Every structure is written in C-alpha cells, then in structure tokens.
Structure 1
Amino acid sequence: MDEQLRDGQGTAGPVRVLIVDDHPLFREGLKAALESAEGVSVVGEAETVAVVAEAVAQSRPDVVVMDLTLPDGSGLDATRRMAEQGPAAPPVLMLTMADDDGSLLAALQAGARGYLVKGAGRDEVLHAVRTVAAGGAVFGAEIAGRITALLAGTKLREAGQLFPSLTAREAEVLALVARGFDNHRIARELVVAEKTVRNHVTHIFEKLHVATRAEAVARARDMGLGEE
C-alpha cells in the first residue's frame, strides 16, 4: 500500500499495530510511544504465543510488533505460524532484547520483516513500524551491518559461532541436542554427569530465549546444526 496512505495522510486510515509482549509496563510504554504519532493506532495486545492467532483475527493489524521471548514459547513460533498463512498474514517486526546473530538469523528465517533491539528510540521504532506495514523491511542500526555478511557469507556450522552467547561447553551440548541426543546420551558423549548436562540445557534455553527442547532443536537446525 502506498506509504502516504499508511502515514495517515490519505483515506486508508492509520497503521494498525498489534503488540505481542508479556511485560505490561513495556506494552503500555510502547503503545503510548506509537500512538503519540499521527497515523498509528494500537488495535490489540497479546502476552503469549497461544493467543496470537486469535488476537490477529480480532484486531486485523497491519503489522505485529513481536517479542522473541514469551511465557509459553518463542515469538519465532508465532511468526512462523503467521508466515505459513501466506500473503494475507500481517508482517512481523521483532522488538527484542536479543541481539546475537543466531536470534537475528532465526527471525529472518521465520519470516520476520524487521528486527529491532529494545532500547531503540521512538523515531526508529515508528519508522520501522511504518516501513514494515508498507511492505518494506527494516533493521536496527546496530545490527543492519551484520545482515549482508551473515546471509551472503559461508554458512556457519559451529554452534559457538552461531550463538556467541553460549560458552564452549554449552555450544557442544546444543550441537548434540540438535542431533536428537537425550541428556543421558549427551552425558556419555561428553563424559560428564547427567545433572551437569541438565544445567547446561537450562542455560541454553535461557540464552536462546526458548522454552522447550523442541524449540532449541528447531533453532539449532535452522542454523544447520545436527546434520550428521
């Protein structure tokens, strides 16, 4: 749709935004920032992956501003499910605390049209919302320079390179998790206690912003891990 209409200058009306984030104070602040600008309206809010589809159906947004980490799963899952609906699905702008290369690549592969790190200024967020709603793609200034190299360069295979927030041992564990190994098998492979593996897995979940083993496997395999 024409950018002029999306900015509220024509008959198409304001850009309709759905906010998906589990922190009420953040949602309130983001809503206030967005609606302080002409031509933007927050038409719905959601806190979990489970209610995103219903919220989209009810509010019919032009763009969904999505957090990566939600109580019942990852915003990546919700993004993938919307992308599977085809062209009728609203575009997604990820707005998250995660700024590692693995999260960025996973968001792109899930179908996100934009990616900003929380802490971006009001004008940057507004520009991103309008651009994504108008059919464009936009990324925060602090990560935009990494995208070309990440997507055009040789595909990284080492978990430690893909997910730099992981320790060397956590990267080893993630690579084995991606191969479908359970904690007992991983403990045998690495010659460590099973409790140690469980602790590593817990830390991996926290750092990758996932809630389940299946999500961790999906994130790792999206990056090419586990292909033995």
Structure 2
Amino acid sequence: MTLALRRSKVLCPEEAVNSLSRNNITSNAMKAEISGVGLDSKLLDNLLITDSNSKRKRLIYSCIKSIAYAKENKFKDSIKELEKLFNYKTDKLKGKRKALKYITLLLDKYDDYKSLSLLDFSNFIKVNLDNSISKVTGGRIKTFYESYSFHQLLLCVSIPEDLSLHKTIHKSKGGDEFNNVLLVLKEESDTEFLINSDLMQHEEQRINYVAVSRAKNRLFISVPTLSEEKQNVLNNLFDIEII
C-alpha cells in the first residue's frame, strides 16, 4: 500500500493524494508510509489488559495517546489526555501545566525513543517523566513489552477529527471530496463491490463505494493481490499496475 501511495504521488505531481482506509491503524500506517503487514489494532488496549501495574500502564498508555494527538496538532486533546493522570481537583491549572511539561518533553525527545521497543520506551518514561513507576522486570508483561515497539502502539491511536491526508472512510465527512483518492483495500475479496456490486445487501460494499465517490479527478485502488481472472474483468475499468 505504501508503494501504491508513492506511485499515485508520481502520477499526481502537482496535487495531493488523499488515502482512505477501512480501519484506523491502516490510515495511521499510511501517514507514516509504512507497510501494512503485521499491524495489530488491539495492541494499545492489550497493554491495559496485560500490565497489572495500574500506575505504570496508565502513564504509558496516556503518553502514547498524547504523543499521537500532538503529532497531528491536536494539542488540546493531547494535554487533556495527560491531565487525566493528575488529581489536582483544587488546582486545575497545575494539572494543565504538568501535562504541558510532559508533552513538551516528549515532543522534544521524540527522536530519542521513536524507534525503541515498548520496554525501552517504558524505561524512557521512568527516567524522564516519573521515576516512581515500577520498572518492567520479568514474566508475561516483560515479554509483551519486549515483543512490540513504541511505534506499533502509536499506530493504534484514533485521531479525533482527523484533518490529515490519510484517514478512515468513516472520518471522511459526508460532503468531503478530494481531487485524488487512493482507496486502500485489505483483501482481494474487497474488490467485489467493483465486480459483483450488491450495495443493498452488503455494508462493506457500500462503505467502499462511498470512498471511491470522494474522488473528483483521479481514483487509485490498492489491493495486496489480484487474480488473473479479476484482472481481466477490471481491465475494462482501470489501468492495472503490478508494483
């Protein structure tokens, strides 16, 4: 899907290309222009389930969400997410200041941890933000923290009112139209809405139809595989490139 995005940009050198995806983690992967292979949208939720240490998991969870919001210029949401960690009922301003201090440091040092494992990211949080949280030392939780990267969990964050070029079909508002659209399909079977259309009976077909209707000038569709049979049918509708 990243190769398809790059190719569509070459074909639209003077204009933006908007990608539309079925789920949040795919749209986030498109923003980062990374492969969609092996993405797991449940990782951030699994952190809360797997880690039994309430303070540590809440801090790491909120930091990841706050970073994702801030990277998309959603600073109000970013600060609000971190404010939840602080119980300053009689001094709301103090909570905002502390949240602002946290996210400022996290953004300043983003390059230091963006490629780290989740375990190393948790150590970064302990050293730089809150030394009182427990260190991950062993067992099932350490295996989880070692198995995934910070970036894999960052991709799981859903951005409110996403204004980027790459968003989910559902976050594309009813009246949205874009000059150039790249629809990212996850499976070959998703092309059925083009070949054997039955919009009344199949919600997924309707959703994909909504996505392609957003394109004003050029429409691109990325699909991981395409059988020779389907290629023969779709050749009447599209120029097909194998990349």
Higher strand share: 1
Q: Which has the higher contact order (CA 8 A, sep 6+)?
A: 2
